[in-house]
Every structure is written in C-alpha cells, then in structure tokens.
Homo-oligomer: A and B are copies of this chain.
Amino acid sequence: MSIIGAGNLASHLYRTFIHNDEIQLEKIFSRKAGRLSFVQENELKSHSLEELGDPDIIFLAVKDEAIVEVAQKLSIKNGFFVHCSGGNELKVLSEFENHGVFYPLQTFSKDKRIDFRNIPICIEANSEENLQKLKDFASLVSEKVFEVDSEKRRALHLAAVFVNNFTNHLYTIASDFCSENGIPFDILKPLMKETVSKLDTLPPYSAQTGPAIRNDKKTIMAHMEMLNEEHKKIYKLLTASIQKIHGKEL
C-alpha cells in the first residue's frame, strides 16, 4: 500500500497499516516534509509523486476538495487508486484504469487514537475484480465492510454531518455555556453518552425528551432569555423542528 496525504485520516491509515502484520506500507507522500513528522520510518516518507513504489493500492487520503487536483498530477495511471471521501463520487477517479473508494465512516483527529476494527468501511470500485481486491484489503483492517454505491455514500456522508459535525457543535455551545457559568463540562458527559447508548434499544424518534416535545412553554421561554441572539436562533429552529416532527406544532 501507499498513502498520499498527511492529514488526520492519512495519519490514522499510516498507524493502522504499520501495526498490521498482513499489510506492507511502501510509501506515504506529502509535498511538505514537515507534515510527515508522525511517520517514524524515514524510508517510508516520500515527497515526490514519482516515488510511490509499486503498491497494490494507492490511498488518496487528501481533503475532499483536493482529490481531483492530486489525481491529475499523478503521472502513473496504471495503479489502483482509491479515494477516502464520503462526498465524492467514484467517477472522480475515472481517468485511472483501476479506481475505487475506501470510505471509513468515522471522525479522525490527529491526537486521538482509534481502533479501525470497529469502523464501518464503505467500499466501491470500478470492476468486480477491484471490488474484491478492496474488500479483501478492507477486511484486514475492519470487521465492518460494506459495499456502498456513490449515491448512498453521499446520503451517508450527509447523515454523518448531522450526527457528528452538528452534534459536536452543539457540544461546543454547551461547553462554552458551562464555562460562562462556572460549571465543569464533564458533568454533562454521562448524559451525552446515554443519549447515544439509549439508541441501542430505542429509535431516536422514541428517545426524544425535553421541553420541546412536552411543549413546556415556560421552560422554553426561560431558556431563550438566557441565550445570545445566535444561539437563540438555533434553539428556536431545533425546538420548532422537534415540535413539528412530533405533532406538537403550535
């Protein structure tokens, strides 16, 4: 395998590959030398796209916006190139004879280690043969490998934005709110964990609680008064959306 990229995902792929006895990493590429500081083995580092070795699969672990641009710079066209993006179609790599998608449905931050075995990997490829090759490979790193076409992957990526990006932003708002009021954010963690665990036994629609679904106007008004204009807008919109979906529309 070779990896192109030096961001959060690339660093996690690197760690996963070098710790797996069944996978041999040939090269990890970044234009800027400094960005590969997480790679301990100097012989694996590459700063030229001409030096990717002769890997079975080349992972384009670059920003979504950069995939096409990087692909066009690659002079070798006969490798098996896969991108790792939820939002990009398979066909963005169609100039390569062999191409595919290896999309790990997870959030990656450089400083947080994560076990790949539990990460759902969504795969897609331009031929049955390449799909099998990618499937065999993905099964070496994860127990959850799914064949997902570009259209479904796009929907999944959007769902991931709601459950991860937006949720994390609500955590950020709550965390700031705790700081402002001298409350340790940690006190909310059991609630945050249970909010997710609950869904092992209930669908989220049935798990909904709180002033919006109870249509508890007094509490809703009191909350709104405590918020700044921006957060009030978020509170209002999400409260209305909860009430609408649960038939509590005013």
B175-A65 in contact (CB<8A):
no
Query: B177, A158: Cβ atoms under 8 Å?
Result: yes
Q: Which residues of B contact A218 (CB under 8 A)?
A: 64-65
A76 part of interface (Cβ distance < 8 Å): no
* Cβ distance A91 to chain B, nearest Cβ, rounded Å: 14
A63 touches B162 (CB 8 A): no
A107 touches B198 (CB 8 A): yes
From B108, B196, B202, B209, A196 is in contact (CB under 8 Å) with B196
Shortest CB distance A95–B (Å):
19
Closest chain B CB from A62 CB (angstroms): 12
Interface size class of A (residues with CB under 8 A): 35 or more
- Contacting residue for A159 out of B164, B183, B213, B242, CB 8 A: B183
A183 and B202: CB pair below 8 A?
no
- In angstroms, Cα B194 to Cα A44, docked, is 30
Q: Contacts A64-B216, A216-B63 known; A164 to B87 CB distance under 8 Å?
A: no
A214 CA / B125 CA spacing, docked (Å) = 27
A152 CB to closest chain B CB, in angstroms?
A: 6
Contacts of A126 in B (CB 8 A): none
Copies in the complex: 2
Closest chain B residue to A244, Cβ basis: B230
Q: How distant is the Cα of A186 from the Cα of B177 in the complex, in angstroms? A: 31
Complex CA gap A113/B198 in Å reads 9
Report B-chain residues with C-beta under 8 Å of the C-beta of A65: 214, 216, 218-219
Q: Is A109 an interface residue (CB 8 A)?
A: yes
CB of A94 closer than 8 Å to a CB of B: no
Interface string of A88-128 (1 = CB under 8 A from B): 00000000000000000111110110100011100000000
Q: From residue 155 to 213 of chain A, which have CB atoms closer than 8 A to chain B?
A: 155-175, 177-178, 180-183, 185, 187-196, 198-213
- Interface residue A233 (Cβ < 8 Å from any Cβ of B): yes
A195 touches B167 (CB 8 A): yes
Q: Name A212's contact: one of B114, B118, B165 (CB within 8 Å).
A: B165
For A109, give its contact among B167, B191, B206 (CB under 8 Å): B206
Residues A164 and B192 in contact, CB atoms below 8 Å apart: yes
The answer, among B162, B182, B212, B241, for a CB contact under 8 Å with A152, is B182
CA distance A173 to B114 in the complex (A): 27
